[in-house]
Structure 1
Amino acid sequence: MPSTPEIVRIEARPYVALRGKVTMDGIGAFAARLGEVVGWLAAREIAPNGAPFIKYDVVDMDAELVLETGFPVDDVHAGEGEIVTGVIPAGQYATLRHHGHPDGLLAANHDLQVWAAEQGLQWDADGDRWAARLEIYYSDPFEVPDLNEWETDLQFKLKD
């Protein structure tokens, strides 16, 4: 069940992630590759400083999505291969906390977008390309094995 949406100011966050292109039905398999990022970070003795996320760079639900799954880190690093680095931009974000199974995230995304439209808010996006559209996963599957108890934040950057 989602919480009430709100607008929050978020500071810039360097990150390391795996980048890929998938269709809607491939998101789960792509997210499962997060372990590759964990291994890459561990090999370089870089510690994540926050919860894992999926960053939606291009969202075309009828065709292809460009995603990054990774972790925030303290400093900007150089990536290699499918591992990319960057900075999630600072700014105002429309946010929504989703409590429940990840299958409910599509509806939570819809709810956040409807709320933003009702508020007259504009996304920092150019068509299907988003400046920052994130799902942040706070629940560790080893500590919270029941997916119905997971906590996930949606954070969508608003136009400055």
Structure 2
Amino acid sequence: MNATRQRYEAKILRVQLLIQHHLDEDLSLEHLAAAADYSPCHFHRIFRGIVGESADDYVRRLRMERAAQSLRYRRRSVLDIALDAGYGSHEAFTRAFVRTFGVTPSDYQSLEHPPASIKETLMSTVNYTAAHVRLETQPSRRLAYIRVVGKYDFENLNPAFGRILQFAAENNLMTDCTACVGVYHDDPDVTAPEKQRADVGVTVDDQFQPTGEIQVQTIPSGKCAVLRHQGHYDTLHEAYRWFFSVWLPDSGHEPGDFPAYEIYVNDASQLPPDQWLTDICVPLAE
């Protein structure tokens, strides 16, 4: 990637992170353009050119996808979720939701996710029970990461993991305490594959500063449900579906505000795929 394009993409990523962390606030075109240090007219074209959708559409989509996840996993009223999504009334939210998902929020909330037939299949084919889930207080982790947009699969994510691990090795960031981590912001059953956001990285100390495509974020400490998965990373999706469709609704817990993340327990380059270990961490509401 040439330096000019890298600079453009870094500015747009800065705006995407601003949107991600402030979805409940004013995200006008002028505000976002100022964050990127572009005039509004140029920002509009640059954002669309790099992201593939306008900034307004991007904000609306993230709010609507968050609303869908709230309807699915949290015990909240449709009106409260509508207000969080930036709509002033139940009716306006319902119209927008139907345009996006093809059903009303109330109907979506009452649907089984996944349907009972799939849930039964998961319970019979995924070898997990409630006993496999650990409730733990996870420490805060500072993460140097690369943002990847695209389908959550090994083929798409592995090159970024390779780059961040090579960078860490070349810059003497690897220690006995370093963990390889992936943060997954979207639900693959809601967000289109080409728009799914992942942050793949390694833990670093407070001295590390972002550089180039490598950004920094902090995974907050807090109570998590942790499920250890064994097998190829491309089989993780079924583990997630069991976690969210079978365990979570029966657990008495609700997911927290931070997205699910994965800690890669062993070195995949040194082991066959059937021995790869991954801890899926789902932050829980306190």
**Superposition TM-score tier, normalisation by shorter sequence:** 0.7 to 0.9
In structure 1, stretches of 5+ residues that fail to align are: 126-130
Higher relative contact order (CA closer than 8 Å, sequence separation 6+): 1
Q: Which residue number corresponds to residue 132 of structure 2?
A: 4
Q: Describe the shift of the 1:143–1:27 C-alpha distance in structure 2 as closer, same or farther (beyond 3 A).
A: closer
SS at 2:270 equivalent: coil
2:243 to 112, 123, 126: 112
Q: Which residue number corresponds to residue 262 of structure 2?
A: 135
CA distance in 1: counterparts of 2:162 and 2:202, whole angstroms: 11
- Give the ranges of 4+ consecutive aligned residues of structure 1 lying more than 4 Å apart after TM superposition: none
CA distance in 2: counterparts of 1:76 and 1:66, whole angstroms: 26
Percent pairwise identity: 24
CA distance in 1: counterparts of 2:259 and 2:207, whole angstroms: 17
Deviations 1:104-159, CA, capped at 9 Å, x for gaps: 2111111211212111211113xxxxx13112222213321x10111111001111
Relative to its length, the structure with more strand (as a share) is: 1
RMSD across aligned C-alpha pairs, in angstroms? 2.1
CA distance in 2: counterparts of 1:42 and 1:32, whole angstroms: 15
Of structures 1 and 2, the larger Rg is shown by 2
CA distance in 2: counterparts of 1:90 and 1:156, whole angstroms: 12
Q: Which residue number corresponds to residue 200 of structure 2?
A: 69
What aligned pairs does 1:141-160 form with structure 2 within 5 A after superposition?
141-144=268-271, 146-160=272-286
Q: Does 1:83 align with 2:214?
A: yes
Q: Does 1:124 align with 2:256?
A: yes
The alpha carbon displacement at 1:60 in A equals 4.7
AA matched with 2:248:
A
Deviations 1:51-89, CA, capped at 9 Å, x for gaps: 312111233544121110111123253213321111111
The alpha carbon displacement at 1:43 in A equals 4.1
Q: Which residue number corresponds to residue 52 of structure 1?
A: 180
Q: TM-score, normalised by structure 2?
A: 0.49
CA distance in 2: counterparts of 1:31 and 1:59, whole angstroms: 19
Q: Which residue number corresponds to residue 28 of structure 1?
A: 155
Relative to its length, the structure with more helix (as a share) is: 2
In structure 2, stretches of 5+ residues that fail to align are: 1-126
SS at 1:32 equivalent: helix
Determine if contact 2:154/2:233 at 8 Å carries over to the other structure: no
Q: TM-score, normalised by structure 1?
A: 0.82
